[in-house]
Structure 1
Amino acid sequence: MSKPSGAIDMTQGKPINLMLRFALPMMIGSIFQSLYSMVDSAVLGRFVGSHALAAIGATTSTTGLILLLATGVTSAISIALSQYVGANDTDRVRKGIVASGWITLLLGVVLGLISVFAARPLMQLLKTPEDVIDMSVLYIQIVCGCGIAQFAYNAAASILRALGDSKTPLYFLILCSILNVILDLISVIGLNMGVAGVAVATVGSQAISAAICILVMFRKYPDLMPKRHTLRPDMPVSLKIFGMGAQMALQSLFLSVGMMVITRVINGYGSNVVAAFTVGSNVQNLAVMLFSNFSLEFIRIQAWFFPFLGWIWLYNSTVKGMGKINISMVSSVVELCSKIGLSLLLPIWIGTTGIWFAAPIGYILGIIPLLIYYYSGRWKKLLTVSAAEPAKA
């Protein structure tokens, strides 16, 4: 398999240097991904009003549920393909790319239909304030109904990262962020589309970035371009990716349910608190100064727990990379139960401030199963078995 510029051979060199070179573009990408969410909030809060900001904030857990289900599957693409790349099994890499395309298409259609028809019942279930529910439903129907744009980008980025190229996805994430800002301003200020404009801007920027990313990927890796006779998915490879993806999607479902419970609690306090939560979540307190007392408190509390958030991602990713999705799922169940229980109990004891503590404490408790498995050393047996298997040319 050809190695274009920008790709890193993760099997050669010092691990710490390889991880830093590979992870740095992904870290920068995360910043840009957060940035365009902040821009959405800033544009709505400044040019439309606090109710529009609250409408998007009320959808966070619901859009997260839909998109994380798909992200779980696209993450499995990266894990499976990276294993094939590490084994130098080019044939299965090609088959994995084809399988990824079909799985992404299926996810886009199924989750898109679910989003369109289930948006209002979900918003009602979460007790979304009546003064913002219509805008919230519309936002979900557009962003998640057309979610195949984001799924396609995630799948392409997962394939590139599995090949050792984490820079190319970064470039297109930056492009997506810039396009999103431009389209936000045009649709909200120029066309006065409000919440619908922000949703259209998000989908449009993702679709353009996904299309260009896929074209560039096959230009850099022409030998991986599927041929007409290879478009039929290989069942063993497809089932492996889908099986791992289903487990990771279930894990995401657990986490999303926890966030939905917290959202239901927050929604019960009205659109003002929902807007404040949105500002705090985006570390953005300039859009709606009316609610700064809530959002600054949110940031101060959660900032103390950021190291635990980093650690749970570190150990979770490590365990997933080993293929031990079940251990990661146990961690998610513990985190979910903690978040639900604490989000219901803490507000009773210490008021709304307790809501901000629920998720961080959940991080801490969720780390425990991961630490037990990792430091037990049982994963070393996987290395012994893998080393005994002959690599395919």
Structure 2
Amino acid sequence: MMQGFSIETATAYGQENEKRLVSAIWRSVVLAAVISAVMTAVSLLLMKPALNLLNTPADIMDGALTYLGILYTGCVIITAYQLAAALLRSFGDSRTPLYAMTAASLINIGLDLLFVYRFHMGIGGAAWATVIAQGAAALICIAKLRNQISLPLRMEFRMETAVRLVRLGLPLAFQVVIIAAGGLALQNAVNQYGSVFVAGYTAANKMFGILESAGIAFGYGAASYTAQNLGAGKTERIPEGVRAGLLFSVLVSGFISVCMLVFGRSIMSLFVERSAQNYDMIIDTAYQYLSVMSYALLMLYMLHLYKSMLQGLGLTVQSMISGIVELAARIILVFTLPGLIGSVGIFIAEVGAWIGAALYLMLTYYRLSPGIIKSVDIQKNGE
């Protein structure tokens, strides 16, 4: 939802409309505070029923509750980072959020090793590592934001701004919920294979966050870039952004995929305690999942690119529909492939959902963007 808020600020920034920009920033801060408070309360109340619904193995239930409880408690920190990073991108600063995300990933890995291996804090230590890393990223972005914003941030209530923010942000929030629902279906299928398989899947998912981070960061930058240029009437830059994004996606995803395929098994050993029972089986499962994700990483990066371009054009409903496509593909594949090809079908179901959503987003972008760009050009020439 924070990304949706940043579309309004980016458009106002591109228009050099200071009054609209100040109002958008304040409304974003207030709405983000309310949303994070509600999400924390609801998540803490529902986490145990949700885990029971997912058939979570009894031997990992306590650990899952501990992990989720800590993460949900830190929801306000995660929201603060997401909003600060989104605002920075809306002002054209995509480097600081990328640096902050990179720093958070490194801090997370370092604290994982410290808390889990050195202090033996177990799953709780891993959760605290994530929250602290997100807090560090939030501080980096907020510090930069304070230096960058020279506007008088006075509280000013403008209902039309709040409505625009909700209109832009709500479809994106709904999209996250839809994708999360697909993730729950996938997790339910994973849980059927027992705690060893779950441990391998979880270890690979930790690495997945790092694999995806560059694509997410560039996608966020692409959304702000598109909204800024649309607001400024510089529509000729938008196709240039797509071409640059495609080149970035190919080069970065290709490099990361090769590294994961070559060094993935060794990397996975950093996320699993050597004293764990069935250590070798856990590593095998984690590396298998990591390999499947690596082969399809380019499609994931393209998913983020085209989704962000649509968001920057204000087409947040179409972006939300991609979440429905992703959900449908994930559910269909997760309930069919494992029965045909075994547990690897779960991994293929995940990347199959990426591919389905990416194809929808690409087709939608090339179908709708020319009309939007043309209408902005006509309006600009008419002025």
Q: Given that residues 160 and 166 in structure 1 are in contact (C-alpha distance below 8 angstroms), is that contact kept between their aligned partners in structure 2?
A: yes
Deviation at 1:183, TM superposition (A): 4.4
d(CA) in 1 for partners of 2:320, 2:366: 17
Deviation at 1:142, TM superposition (A): 1.2
Deviation at 1:255, TM superposition (A): 1.3
Higher helix share: 2
Counterparts of 1:1-393 in structure 2, within 5 Å, are 73-181=1-109, 183-185=111-113, 187-189=115-117, 191-221=119-149, 223-227=150-154, 231-281=155-205, 282=207, 284-286=267-269, 287=272, 288-376=279-367, 378-389=368-379
d(CA) in 2 for partners of 1:386, 1:237: 21
Q: 1:6-53 CA distances to partner (integer Å, 9 max, x unpaired)?
A: xxxxxxxxxxxxxxxxxxxxxxxxxxxxxxxxxxxxxxxxxxxxxxxx
Query: Which structure 2 residue ranges, 5 or more long, are not aligned?
Result: 208-263, 273-278
d(CA) in 2 for partners of 1:232, 1:301: 50
The letter of the residue matching 2:190 is I
Deviation at 1:185, TM superposition (A): 5.0
The letter of the residue matching 1:321 is G
Q: 1:121-172 CA distances to partner (integer Å, 9 max, x unpaired)?
A: 1111111111111111111111122211011011011111110111222333
Give the alignment's TM-score, normalised by structure 1.
Answer: 0.74
Aligned CA distance change for structure 1 residues 148 and 86 (closer, same or farther; 3 Å): same
d(CA) in 1 for partners of 2:153, 2:39: 26
Give the alignment's TM-score, normalised by structure 2.
Answer: 0.75
Q: 1:289-320 CA distances to partner (integer Å, 9 max, x unpaired)?
A: 33233223223333222222222222222112
The letter of the residue matching 1:385 is S
Query: Which structure 1 residue ranges, 5 or more long, are not aligned?
Result: 1-72
Identity of matched residues, % = 27
Return 330-339 or 192-201, whichever deviates more: 192-201
d(CA) in 1 for partners of 2:95, 2:335: 42
SS of the aligned residue for 1:379 comes to helix
Deviation at 1:199, TM superposition (A): 1.9
Aligned CA distance change for structure 1 residues 224 and 315 (closer, same or farther; 3 Å): same
Size of the aligned set, in residue pairs, is 314
Aligned CA distance change for structure 1 residues 364 and 187 (closer, same or farther; 3 Å): closer
Aligned CA distance change for structure 1 residues 338 and 216 (closer, same or farther; 3 Å): closer
Deviation at 1:361, TM superposition (A): 1.9
d(CA) in 2 for partners of 1:187, 1:370: 40
Aligned CA distance change for structure 1 residues 302 and 176 (closer, same or farther; 3 Å): closer
Aligned CA distance change for structure 1 residues 208 and 308 (closer, same or farther; 3 Å): closer
d(CA) in 2 for partners of 1:83, 1:317: 14
Q: Given that residues 102 and 233 in structure 1 are in contact (C-alpha distance below 8 angstroms), is that contact kept between their aligned partners in structure 2?
A: no
Return 278-287 or 357-366, whichever deviates more: 278-287
The letter of the residue matching 1:254 is I
Number of the residue aligned with 1:66: none
d(CA) in 2 for partners of 1:151, 1:137: 21
d(CA) in 1 for partners of 2:170, 2:99: 29
d(CA) in 2 for partners of 1:197, 1:163: 36
Deviation at 1:275, TM superposition (A): 0.8
